[in-house]
């Protein structure tokens, strides 16, 4: 059985190494300077970059006045609120998924422990029934010649 597993593992490792060979054989390209965009600035030169956008959430409402500015600010606020609701809902779903996975893992561990305990109990009952004089700690029995033998 272990030879079969070892053979399968070696075959898998060989396939992976052959599949990855062309990727590893390629030489990385030399980095090139980025092209200038339509505004004439290159992203690799800090001094040519446009000024950063202000952090105000109402940046897109600049230049508006009166009722139009109020509508714009309400829309921006509503959009921000919707994004927060979406993020909370996504986080809630992730939490539910993590809880389900955790429950399944814990259930599998409990089932494995119960199955192991059941096997040990069956083995102990078999050895007691078969040989009569059985020591559970050493998993052996005393034969009629007075010697201790492992239970099979």
Condensed to tens digits (0 to 9), the pLDDT of residues 70-106 reads 999 899 999 989 999 999 999 999 999 999 999 999 9
Q: Is the pLDDT confidence value at 137 over 60?
A: yes
Give CA–CA dist 35/24, Å, rounded.
28
Give CA–CA dist 78/61, Å, rounded.
14
Give per-residue pLDDT as tens, 5-62.
Answer: 545 544 554 444 545 444 445 555 655 655 655 656 555 665 656 665 666 777 778 8
Contacts of 94 (CB under 8 A, 6+ apart): none
SS3 (DSSP) at 33: coil
Burial of 131 (0-12, 13-18, 19+ CB in 10 A): middle
Do 42 and 36 meet the contact criterion of CB atoms below 8 Å apart? yes
Do 70 and 58 meet the contact criterion of CB atoms below 8 Å apart? no
Do 112 and 103 meet the contact criterion of CB atoms below 8 Å apart? no
pTM for the whole thing?
A: 0.41
């Amino acid at each position: 059985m272990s030879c079969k597993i070892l053979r399968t593992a070696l075959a898998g490792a060989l396939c992976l190494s052959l599949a990855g060979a062309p990727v590893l054989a390629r030489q990385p390209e030399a980095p090139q300077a980025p092209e200038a965009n339509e505004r004439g600035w290159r992203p690799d030169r800090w001094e040519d970059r446009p000024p950063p956008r202000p952090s105000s959430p109402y940046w897109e409402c600049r230049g508006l006045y009166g009722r139009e500015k109020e509508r714009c600010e309400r829309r921006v606020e509503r959009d921000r609120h919707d994004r927060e609701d979406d993020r909370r809902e996504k986080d809630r779903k992730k939490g539910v998924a993590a809880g389900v996975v955790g429950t399944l893992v814990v259930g599998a561990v409990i089932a494995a422990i119960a199955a192991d305990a059941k096997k040990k109990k069956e083995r102990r009952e078999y050895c007691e029934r078969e040989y009569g004089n059985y020591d559970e700690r050493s998993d052996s029995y005393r034969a009629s010649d007075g010697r201790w033998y492992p239970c099979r």
